[in-house]
Amino acid sequence: MTKLDGGCRCGQVRFRVTALPLVAMACHCTGCQRMTGSAFSLSAAIPSDGFAVVEGEPVIGGLHGATRHYFCPHCMSWLFTRPEGIDWFVNIRTTMLDEPARFPPFIETFTSEKLPWATTSAKHSFETYPPFEAYEELTREYAQSLAGNAD
C-alpha cells in the first residue's frame, strides 16, 4: 500500500498520501512561478480520500480565490491546492514529500508562459491546460507508467 509523508519547511504541518497520483505535473504559469519563487511548480493530483493533513493547521494563501492554495501558517511553504469546483482530488506539491523525486512530472502545462531556459522531463507538453478530453487518456497512460515502475 502507498504511504508517503511530507511536510513544510519548518515541520509544523505534516501530511500523508495513501493513494497513487492520477497524474504528476509541472506548471510553468506565471502564478506558479511567483508562488514557488522558482521556474515552475511540481504537483501530483492525489484522490481526496488518499490525502490527509496529520499535523498542524494549513492556512489559505495565494490568491484567496475559488481555488484554495494551502500554506504552513509559520514558514509559509505552499503545500497543496484544492482546485475550484473539484473535491475528488487534491494537488499536492511533490517537492514537499519526504521523497521529493518520487513522482517526476508526466505532463507540463502553460509552456506558453515558461521561462525560456526552463525545461522538464515531462512526456507531454501543453501551451495552457490539456484539453478536457485528453485527461482520460493521460491518466490511463500515467497509471500504466506507474505500474511499470512498481516497487
Site residues, Zn ion (CB under 5 A): 8, 10, 12, 27, 29, 32, 72, 74-75
Give min distance, CB of 148 to Zn ion, in A.
Answer: 28
In angstroms, give the least distance from the CB of 33 to Zn ion.
Answer: 8
- In the complex, the smallest distance separating the C-beta of residue 1 from Zn ion, rounded to whole angstroms, is 27
Sequence-distant (≥ 6) Cβ neighbours of residue 91 within 8 angstroms: 43, 44, 45, 46, 80, 81, 82, 83
Assess contact for 49 and 88: CB atoms under 8 A.
no
Q: How far apart are CA 9 and CA 72, in angstroms?
A: 8
CA angle 79, 34, 16 (to 5 degrees): 10
Q: Give whichever of 84 and 150 is closer to Zn ion, judged by the CB atom.
A: 84
Q: The C-alpha cell of 82 is what?
A: 484544492
* DSSP assigned state of 50: G
CB of 40 to Zn ion, least distance (A): 8
Which is closer to Zn ion, CB of 50 or CB of 58? 58
Shorter beta-carbon distance to Zn ion: residue 22 or 32: 32
- Which residues touch 35 (CB under 8 Å, ≥6 apart)? 41, 62, 69, 78
Which one, 84 or 151, has the nearer CB to Zn ion? 84
